[in-house]
Chains A and B, each alone.
Chain A
Amino acid sequence: MTREAGTLRAGVPAPGRAVVRSGAPAGPGLEVVRAGALTTVQDAGRTGWAHLGVPRAGALDGPARCLANRLVGNAPDAAVLETTLTGCAVRVSGVRPLTAVVGGAVCRVTVDGRPVAWGAPVRVPPGAVLEAGPALHGLRAYLAFGGGLVPEPVLGSRSADLLSGLGPPVLRDGDVLPVGAVAPGHSCPAVGPVPWPGTPGELVLPVRLGPRDDWFTPAALRTLTTAVYRVAAQSNRIGLRTEGPFLARARGGELPSEGMVLGAVQVPPDGRPVVFLNDHPTTGGYPVVGVVAASALAAAAQAPPGTPVRFVRA
């Protein structure tokens, strides 16, 4: 069950929130000052449970999550914050400073209002507020902290899953999140500036046809790989929805529910392709015309509504 954002007032911890603790934590932690439009905890996701209907979840821009983690000296699959469009602000609680990196979507980064580096490690003293501003390029920023976020894992993952409601709930103002201890001798890797992938002006998605391309007319298959679609505003962590030409079916009837993969291009009755992202349902009853290469999905996660989309044959 997806939580409805804004059902509780800012600063009031929800009752029975098992994962996000309220009050001052004993160890290092973060207090959410400005949760932003949609900020969630994400790691590499939970796999191996699709047969029970459990989505994989995990950061939509996996490479950004990995790079942000590596720059603060974490394992690449440590849990980070994923913001959506408007960024977020968190205060460091506890007694020691935290090392943080804001990457992914390009945004203004400040500590207590003073500009600091985007995409590189910054030191945030206890009591100070780290803010990732609204996205200037891209859609989703990633905030990694030395030690990683350590809310209670569910089925082996700390990722929020917005389809089924597993994992830490969507952040709200006033929430407190625990941060893991850093190992003795921990340090950030000594690296110079590293390149972060840019945000594409046009989203090119290599697609391999099947398994249900035979449910569509030859003209529809040509349309898919020649027309220009645009990212629709209704896109979310479940799927990248598109606006563009209708894909006509070659046959009627209903497809019996079948397993769905990450990157599946499902075509609902409105004929507009939906590219399944990490919170996608594990089974579905609309035909999948093709599958987008997983390596292209990080760019899809950073494409704001209106971005032109071209599907090309892989």
Chain B
Amino acid sequence: MSAVRVLAAGPGALLVELASGESAEAFHAELLRRRADGGLPAVREIVPGATTVLLDGIEPRAVAGLARRLTSWEVPPPSRDAGEAVEIPVVYDGPDLADVAGAWGVPVADVPRIHARTEFRVAFCGFAPGFGYLTGLPGHLRVPRRATPRSRVPAGALALAGPYTGVYPRPSPGGWQLIGRMPGPEVLWDPGREPAALLAPGSRVRFVAAEDAG
């Protein structure tokens, strides 16, 4: 019995489905390791998702063999201490703080404290360049999306939905609960910089309350 399911996504792509977000992170890390070691056939994109990893643009003759091999990998758990944490300054003054406090069952003043002492990781990216889906909050602190999405969420908005935290790199419509804002969100995504994204899958992230940062 393997907890790994490999699904074809067209002729040149495989979608690897794992049992949990944590397993998907570990599998993604293993794929990157094997690619760096030359142990993978040519793959154009490796795209982690919530509980999946997509391998896209696989050399056609390698697809079938790779699909068979992927299910037999021994994958170590993700190393939790790899790399420096990216520190993101935030002001916890979002319009949905009270709703989140209600969902968490804590006083409003505790939301920033709980959030800022959590160690986050970028589980995957998407939605917009520079947007990371950050995990780290314990399961009982999940919050639903807002019933009615906002037509415009400003750049820098610090938002929660489901198990995820994220910071909007640019203004867009959005249904997440807003608990604060990051000053200077343009550093999240700068295609003229190398690397363009401040947050990449696997990055560790800490939020620092701006009042405390000085």
Instruction: Give A residues with C-beta under 8 Å from B.
Output: 1, 47-54, 154-155, 164-166, 208, 210-212, 256-261, 263-264, 281-284, 288, 291-294, 314
Nearest CB in chain B to that of A258: its residue: B49
Chain B 26-52 per-residue mask, 1 if CB under 8 angstroms from chain A, else 0: 000000000000000000111111111
Contact A283/B126 with A211-B9, A256-B52 known, Cβ cut-off 8 Å: yes
Q: What would 4 more interface pairs be, CB under 8 Å, given A154-B192, A314-B11?
A: A48-B45, A53-B131, A164-B128, A211-B7
CB of B51 within 8 A of CB of A259, answer no
Contact A288/B126 with A47-B44, A256-B50 known, Cβ cut-off 8 Å: no
- How many residues of B are counted as interface, with CB atoms below 8 angstroms from the partner's CB atoms? 40
- Sample of 5 A–B contacts (CB below 8 Å): A256-B52, A257-B49, A264-B9, A282-B125, A293-B11
- CB-CB under 8 A from B120, the residues of chain A are none
Q: Which of B13, B49, B133, B192 is the one whose CB lies under 8 Å from A261?
A: B13
Bound-state Cα–Cα, A53 to B198, Å: 13
B15 contacts A by Cβ under 8 Å: yes
Bound-state Cα–Cα, A48 to B11, Å: 18
Nearest CB in chain B to that of A161: its residue: B129
CB of A208 within 8 A of CB of B10, answer yes
Contact A208/B8 with A52-B200, A258-B52, A282-B47 known, Cβ cut-off 8 Å: yes
Bound-state Cα–Cα, A1 to B48, Å: 23
B107 contacts A by Cβ under 8 Å: no
The winner among A48, A263, A264, A282 for most chain B CB atoms within 10 A is A282
CB of B57 within 8 A of CB of A208, answer no
CB of B10 within 8 A of CB of A259, answer no
CB of A257 within 8 A of CB of B128, answer no
Bound-state Cα–Cα, A293 to B12, Å: 10
The winner among B53, B128, B129, B201 for most chain A CB atoms within 10 A is B129
Query: Majority SS of interface residues in chain A?
Result: loop
Closest 7 CB pairs of A and B: A259-B54, A291-B10, A283-B126, A256-B50, A259-B47, A258-B49, A211-B7
Contact A211/B56 with A256-B50, A281-B126 known, Cβ cut-off 8 Å: no
Nearest CB in chain B to that of A46: its residue: B191
CB of B44 within 8 A of CB of A53, answer no
Contact A257/B126 with A47-B45, A283-B47 known, Cβ cut-off 8 Å: yes
CB of A1 within 8 A of CB of B171, answer yes
Q: Which of A166, A283, A314 is the one whose CB lies under 8 Å from B124?
A: A283
Bound-state Cα–Cα, A48 to B9, Å: 18
- CB-CB under 8 A from A258, the residues of chain B are 15, 49-52, 54
The winner among B21, B44, B50 for most chain A CB atoms within 10 A is B50
Bound-state Cα–Cα, A293 to B52, Å: 22
CB of A208 within 8 A of CB of B49, answer no
Chain B 119-153 per-residue mask, 1 if CB under 8 angstroms from chain A, else 0: 00000111111110100000000000000000000
Q: Which of B7, B44, B51, B128 is the one whose CB lies under 8 Å from A210?
A: B7
Nearest CB in chain A to that of B8: its residue: A210
- CB-CB under 8 A from A257, the residues of chain B are 49-50, 124, 126, 133
CB distance from B17 to the nearest CB of A (A): 8
CB of A51 within 8 A of CB of B8, answer no
Contact A259/B49 with A50-B56, A52-B196, A155-B191 known, Cβ cut-off 8 Å: yes
B172 contacts A by Cβ under 8 Å: yes
CB distance from B122 to the nearest CB of A (A): 10
CB of A261 within 8 A of CB of B191, answer no
CB of B7 within 8 A of CB of A155, answer no
CB of B11 within 8 A of CB of A208, answer yes
B170 contacts A by Cβ under 8 Å: yes
Bound-state Cα–Cα, A61 to B103, Å: 49
CB of A51 within 8 A of CB of B125, answer yes
